[in-house]
């Protein structure tokens, strides 16, 4: 903890506090505030609930009210905006190249630089590599929090809340986030949190010896069916692919920007395409220069990885439906 900041103004958590949305709060409360709207919850106890980090489940209506009283404001997420029209014009100029995959490949490969994100392609891939390293390190310190061990809807909510606290920090450090409007940021945060919880847990699952993967007895049949489906689809694919950390980081970035469930602006689609192109070519260079793969081997490997994006989108859609079936929201 940074002792200069003091405890969270919302729940009094003494750990990981810093300035979010204009107030000193922990990452968990910041994440909650970022994905919540004012009319989303209602208190059944006359708005007198005590918000404490010691409680795993708290009244979300009172928690949101506490955020407002602490001075949190979503407009603090971004004070400086890049000129969006310039970004659109830049991409429009490049769309001629993108009509042909060959021309597009040459354009990006020759420059090795994303004009939209204002970074080298390799720097963008390295951002995701560092995020994966951080996330996996956190999971090793608390192995019981793998989402695949959930036994009920309530477990899904608790485990997700535990994991998503750090997602907001990563979200607002992501290249290109300064180009997005707040509605797009909220969508992006949902995708980022989902990826941190589910894709990282499946990565951990794929690396474990399956003789040690004990089946959990679940009374909630819907949760059991969903988790078994996730394991048998993406879990099995990751076991066979045996992705190293660079490949997994690239795969995770593809998924974050390509789930495509919620409505987004043209700017977000441009930023998403820029991330995909930059990471794709950084990964190609990694294969070529570090692993010494042939062009054919590179094409097959990237094809196998990107094929799983559709699987991740299906998992996200099914998770939304699972929550809706029990009257919850993601």
With respect to CATH, is domain 17-77 assigned 3.10.580.10?
A: no
End-to-end CA distance of the chain: 29
More confident residue, 120 or 4: 120
248-275 pLDDT tens trace: 999 999 999 988 888 889 999 999 999 9
Q: Name the 3-class secondary structure at 26.
A: strand
pLDDT at 120 over 80: yes
Average pLDDT over residues 323-330: 78
pLDDT, averaged across the chain: 80
Question: Residues spanned by CATH 3.30.50.10 within the chain?
Answer: 17-77
pLDDT the model gives residue 122: 93
Residues 6+ apart with CB under 8 A from 147: 156, 159, 160, 163, 197, 198, 201
127-141 pLDDT tens trace: 999 999 888 777 666
Q: Please report, to the nearest 10 degrees, the dihedral formed by the alpha carbons of residues 238, 239, 243, 249 taken in order.
A: 40
133: phi then psi, degrees, rounded to nearest 5: -60, -45
Contacts by residues 88-96 (CB-CB < 8 Å, ≥ 24 positions apart): 88/266, 88/267, 88/270, 90/115, 90/116, 91/116, 91/270, 91/273, 91/274
Dihedral sign from CA coordinates of 126, 128, 132, 134: positive
pLDDT at 2 over 50: no
Average pLDDT over residues 217-236: 87
325: tokens are 């079936």
More confident residue, 279 or 154: 279
More confident residue, 53 or 240: 240
pLDDT the model gives residue 186: 87
Q: How many CB atoms lie under 10 A from the CB of residue 94?
A: 19
The percent of residues in the chain predicted with pLDDT above 70, rounded, is 77
Residue position matching structure tokens 């078994």: 228
pLDDT confidence tier of residue 106, bands split at 50, 70 and 90: very low
pLDDT at 6 over 70: yes
pLDDT the model gives residue 3: 53
Q: Are 22 and 76 in contact (CB under 8 A)?
A: yes
Average pLDDT over residues 94-111: 46
C-alpha to C-alpha distances, 181 to 71, 74, 144, 188, 315, nearest whole angstrom:
21, 11, 36, 11, 26
161-184 pLDDT tens trace: 776 666 777 888 899 988 888 889
Question: Residues spanned by CATH 1.10.565.10 within the chain?
Answer: 84-325
142-159 pLDDT tens trace: 655 688 888 888 888 888
The percent of residues in the chain predicted with pLDDT above 90, rounded, is 35
Residue position matching structure tokens 């990751």: 238
More confident residue, 28 or 81: 28
40: tokens are 């989303």
Homologous superfamily assigned to 84-325: Retinoid X Receptor (1.10.565.10)
Q: What is the pTM of this model?
A: 0.69
């Amino acid at each position: 903890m940074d002792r200069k900041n003091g405890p969270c103004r919302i729940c009094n958590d003494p750990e990981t506090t810093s300035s979010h949305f204009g107030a000193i709060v922990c990452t968990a409360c910041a994440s909650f505030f970022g994905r919540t709207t004012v009319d989303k919850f209602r208190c059944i106890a006359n708005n007198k609930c005590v918000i404490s980090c010691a409680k795993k489940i708290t009244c979300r209506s009172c928690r949101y009210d506490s955020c407002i009283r602490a001075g949190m404001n979503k407009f603090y997420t971004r004070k400086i905006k890049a000129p969006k029209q310039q970004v659109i014009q830049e991409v429009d100029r490049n769309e001629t190249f993108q009509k042909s995959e060959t021309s597009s490949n040459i354009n990006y490969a020759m420059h090795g630089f994303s004009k939209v994100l204002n970074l080298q392609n390799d720097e963008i891939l390295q951002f995701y590599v560092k995020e994966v390293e951080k996330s996996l390190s956190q999971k090793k310190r608390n192995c019981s929090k793998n989402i695949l061990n959930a036994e009920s809807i309530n477990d899904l909510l608790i485990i997700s809340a535990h994991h998503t606290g750090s997602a907001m920090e990563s979200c607002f450090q992501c290249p290109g986030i300064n180009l997005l409007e707040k509605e797009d940021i909220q969508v992006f945060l949902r995708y980022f949190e989902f990826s941190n919880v589910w894709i990282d847990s499946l990565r951990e699952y794929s690396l474990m010896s399956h003789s040690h993967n004990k089946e959990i007895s679940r009374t909630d049949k819907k949760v059991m069916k969903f988790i078994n489906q996730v394991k048998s689809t993406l879990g099995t694919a990751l076991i066979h692919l045996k992705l190293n950390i660079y490949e997994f980081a690239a795969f995770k970035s593809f998924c974050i920007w390509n789930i495509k469930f919620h409505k987004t602006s043209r700017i977000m689609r441009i930023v998403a395409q820029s991330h995909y192109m930059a990471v794709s070519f950084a990964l190609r260079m990694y294969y070529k220069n570090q692993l010494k793969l042939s062009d054919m081997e590179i094409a097959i490997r990237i094809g196998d990885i990107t094929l799983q994006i559709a699987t991740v989108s299906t998992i996200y859609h099914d998770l939304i439906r699972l929550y809706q079936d029990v009257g919850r929201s993601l």
